[in-house]
Structure formats: C-alpha cells, structure tokens
Amino acid sequence: MEKRFTGLIAAVFTPMCEDGSLNLSQVRPIAEHLIRTQVSGMFVCGTTGEGPSLSSEERRATAAAYVEAAAGKLPVMVQVGHNSLAESRVLASDAQAIGADAISAIPPAYFKFEAIKTLVDCLVEISSAAPKLPLFYYHIPSVTGMDFDMVEFFRQASGRLPTLAGIKFSDSAIPKFQAAAEFENRRFDVLFGSDEMLLSGLCAGATGAVGSTYNFAGPLYRRLIDAFDRGDIDEARKYQALSVEMLRILFRYGIRPALKAVMKLIGLDCGPARLPLGKLTQDQLQAMKEELGAIGFFHWALV
C-alpha cells in the first residue's frame, strides 16, 4: 500500500442539525480546524461519527463531504462496516469512487460469529468492492462483542486479503496491541485507538493513533508525542494525565454526546448526537464547560 497512516488521526464527527438531519456545511470548517491543529488524518463514519446511526445514503454523503474538504491535505479513511455485507460493498465501492485514501470495516455484529475465518470471509467480500484502497480491520470488541486474536487474524488474513494494510485497534489491551504491531517485523500498520492511553500505545510501538479527542485537543497530544520522541517521559506523562482528567469529565456527562458537545464549546457546532445517544441539556453543557475550564482545557487543548 502506498500511503501509511501515522500521527494523530481524528475520528471525526458527523455534524447534524437540531432535528438530527445532516449539516454537511460544517464539514469544511471542521477539516480546516484539523489541518490548522496539525492532525494528520481523518476517520469518517466510525463510532464517533455515528456511522451505525446513519443511512447508507447519509454515510456516502458524509464521506464525500470530508474527502472534498480534505482536498488532498489530509488522508481520509472511511468506515464502511455494516450488518449487511451488500451495503458494506456499496459503501466501499463508493469510498473508492470519491477518492478516499483507505477503508476500514467492523464485521457484521448482529449475528455474532466465533471463527476468524468468518471474519476474513467478510472482509474479502468488502475489500473486493474497493480493490485499489488499503483496508484496515476495525477491531472494537466493546461494541461488536467479538474479541479475536489479532495475531491469528493477521496469519489467516495476510494470504487472502491483498489490500490489508492493518488494524484500527480500539481496545485498551496493550499486550494484545503490541503483539499485533510486532507481527512479521511490523508488516502492518496497527493504529492505536485509546486516547487516554496514547502514551502507553507509543511505548508499545504505535506510530499512528485514531481518536475522538484529537478533534479538539490535538495540540495537547502533539506535545505528548513530541515529549515522548525526545525521551522526556515525565513531560509526556504530564500531558497524558491532562487527557485522562479531560476524559473523566466527559464520561460524567455521557461520553458520546459530551464529545460532540465539546465541539460547540470551541466554536464548531456539530449539533446533537442522534438517538439513541441523545444530547446534553444547556445546564449540562454549561457545567461541563466550567469543569473543563477549571483544568485549563481552553488553554492547553487549543494552543
């Protein structure tokens, strides 16, 4: 694969109007903000982007808007997983047609399965619809309920998936992450997906990370990475501690709606989360703003 995803990759939000309809006019300002804060890529229609709550038509429109807004300045990975493999194939084909840089896919999760071979079979179906795009398996066991051994996945998939580029590893199990990252002399890109444990991921060999809070706290994480790269672990740990405290606040307000609400606090209104996630009340939004202000968020997260 020609393009490797490295650095901070923002799992972008799908902006919506108050009635839950798409508000794609906000996509360009979001992309410009990410470019300005030196995020190095975008992950579209994943968990943060509420992909499972969107229709296929909405997902295609959202992906197209982000690819257009990126204008080649940021690589765009589109999440195309769906409970229907037929729909996944359509989404994958469309991602290739609009000029996305890669696709990612969760497996069909309604009918759960236990064999890695079945997972590979599903990914073969999906990737065949986008044969020119790198494929990243989206490993998120907390959502899918399927916690496969990623080393064994690589063993079985490497001979059957010619476009396999790696894994979006959304799990906090560092030993499992490291084992996958080291497979066959780091043959694949394993993107770390736990913002509050980024420092641990870096220590385990991560060179790229996908996360929700990179949308609005990219500068904090860039300082963390810079400190790590120069060997100042105490400084890196200080920045990671700020990330942990920030996320502790967001979890108190319901993590998914709270993440999206923070964008409004920094001047990029992405609207509410769609049901069943719900949204924060004005009182909750104000209280969260005050808590974030108390830990210096509006200073260290944005500059």
Query: Which tens digits make up the pLDDT trace of 77-119?
Result: 999 999 999 999 999 999 999 999 999 999 999 999 999 999 9
CA 100 to CA 163: how far, in whole Å?
14
Domain coordinates in residue numbering, the chain: 7-217
Residue 175 has pLDDT above 60, yes or no: yes
Of residues 108 and 302, more confidently modeled: 108
Say which of 66, 137, 168, 239 is annotated catalytic: 168
Q: Given a cut of 70, is residue 1 above it in pLDDT?
A: no
Percent of the chain with pLDDT over 90: 96
Buried b (16+ CB within 10 A) or exposed e, 127-139: bebbeebbbbbbb
* 168 catalytic per annotation: yes
| pLDDT above 90: residue 302 | no
Three-state secondary structure of 76-102 = EEEECCCCCHHHHHHHHHHHHHHCCCE
Q: 192 φ, ψ to 5°?
A: -80, 135
Q: Please state which CATH number belongs to domain 7-217.
A: 3.20.20.70
- How high is the mean pLDDT of the chain? 96
The predicted structure's pLDDT at residue 300:
86
Which of these is catalytic: 138, 221, 239, 253?
A: 138
pLDDT digits (tens, 9 = 90+) for 262-298: 999 999 999 999 999 989 999 999 999 999 999 999 9
pLDDT, residue 82, reads 97
3-state DSSP percent of the chain in helix, strand and coil, to 5: 50, 15, 40
**Which residue has 């580029």 as its token pair?**
165
Q: Please state the rounded mean pLDDT for residues 181-190.
A: 96
Per residue in 33-46, pLDDT (tens digit) is 999 999 999 999 99
